[in-house]
């Protein structure tokens, strides 16, 4: 056990003395990886972000928890739309949509984070999707054993009239001319 710090010595000099004594005794002599470079170069070059990603991975934090609230709510709406066919009843679908809409409205009242618009979930559309999935299951019971999802072999083929159009990607151009704002 290390000795106590003398009252007349500062912490910095006392710690330096402890390290110097340990070096003289050879405590640091045969450590694994001695003389080899540390592999700490992050992918994007930002050490702070690399540290946060590694910490979150070590602690088991899902990456979605690091997203701002509006993006997290959008992702939940996407997941709800995908999970609707598997839900047990239309009432369950409407309750899930209502709960998500309540949280979206709560966030809209006092938005924290970037100003991103989050669309409310249309409970009637989700119920129509659920009813269509149930009708497809009744017509083709073999589709239940097949893997789910659009394009899966033996799975339900999505009706293009029922599916929402694919989201268009918008490029942020800033307020300056030619899209050079903030560059």
Q: Is residue 34 part of a domain?
A: no
Domain assignment present for residue 137? The answer is: yes
Q: Kindly report, residue by residue over 55-93, the tens digit of the pLDDT.
A: 888 899 887 888 888 999 999 999 999 999 999 999 999
Higher pLDDT, 13 or 41: 13
Instruction: Give 69-107 as a DSSP string.
Output: HHHHHHHHHHHHHHHGGGSS-HHHHHHHHHHHHHHHHHH
Which is higher by pLDDT, 94 or 3? 94
Residue span of the structural domain in which 125 resides = 68-141
What pLDDT digit, counting tens, does each position of 151-182 carry?
Answer: 444 445 555 445 555 555 555 555 555 545 44
The total of structural domains in the chain comes to: 1
Residue 94 near residue 123 (C-beta atoms within 8 A): yes
Q: Does this model's pTM top 0.75? A: no
Is the residue at 60 inside a domain? no
């Amino acid at each position: 056990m290390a000795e106590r710090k003398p009252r007349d010595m500062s912490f910095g000099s006392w710690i330096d003395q402890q390290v110097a004594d340990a070096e003289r005794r050879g405590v640091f002599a045969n450590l694994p990886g001695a003389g080899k470079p540390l592999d700490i170069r992050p992918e994007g070059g930002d050490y702070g972000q690399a540290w946060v990603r590694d910490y979150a991975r070590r602690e088991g934090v899902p990456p979605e928890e690091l997203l701002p609230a509006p993006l997290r709510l959008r992702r939940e709406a996407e997941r709800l739309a995908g999970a609707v066919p598997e839900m047990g009843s239309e009432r369950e679908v409407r309750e899930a949509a209502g709960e998500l809409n309540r949280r979206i409205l709560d966030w809209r009242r006092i938005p924290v984070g970037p100003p991103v618009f989050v669309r409310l979930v249309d409970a009637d559309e989700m119920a129509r999707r659920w009813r269509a999935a149930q009708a497809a299951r009744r017509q083709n019971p073999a589709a239940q054993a097949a893997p789910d999802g659009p394009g899966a072999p033996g799975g339900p083929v999505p009706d293009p009239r029922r599916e929402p159009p694919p989201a268009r990607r918008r490029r942020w151009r800033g307020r300056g001319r030619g899209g050079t704002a903030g560059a």
